[in-house]
Chains A and B, each alone.
Chain A
Amino acid sequence: GDSVTQMEGPVTLSEEAFLTINCTYTATGYPSLFWYVQYPGEGLQLLLKATKADDKGSNKGFEATYRKETTSFHLEKGSVQVSDSAVYFCALTSSNDYKLSFGAGTTVTVRA
């Protein structure tokens, strides 16, 4: 079945540091890939998405590229801020299914 594996946290960084969260997937067909972010006490928000190979999703300084050859969708940000402290979830949905398969989530803490 479909599955997503993302790097375990927690990740602690200083402001302006570079952030990478690795995400790899297993899926049949041609999945769509997503990164969701959950700020403390809130629901999940869609951060970015990519629907086909080589697409790059971007939002709020975050980027992720859909790499079919490596089945990966790594999240990156060049300079993090304290406000980026949150839990980040990688997810996919297959072309023939409605459901989102989520990774376990990675907790990121950015210190001033």
Chain B
Amino acid sequence: NAGVTQTPKFRILKIGQSMTLQCAQDMNHNYMYWYRQDPGMGLKLIYYSVGAGITDKGEVPNGYNVSRSTTEDFPLRLELAAPSQTSVYFCASSSSGTGPFFGPGTRLTVL
């Protein structure tokens, strides 16, 4: 199993641009999450999903959107990127028995 994979690893955006951060898991986990981690800080929950077609807001959802059309994929969309969204983004997944398990992250810089 590859576990949780994220693409891209790095990205630089200009203010106002949009992008989608990709996340996929091959563990057949129903539950998936997006967190962001600012430099030197802890993890903040952006959005989560309890299954295909079901998503809900976390602590810091403003400026982001998510969708969950399949069990495997949970993309995070940034619309109108702002410097405050400069961060490392982590995707994670869990099952009813264990987890969550995290991906390697996407480092995003907005200039």
* Co-complex (A, B): no
Chain B residues proximal to chain A, CB less than 8 Å? none
Chain A residues proximal to chain B, CB less than 8 Å? none
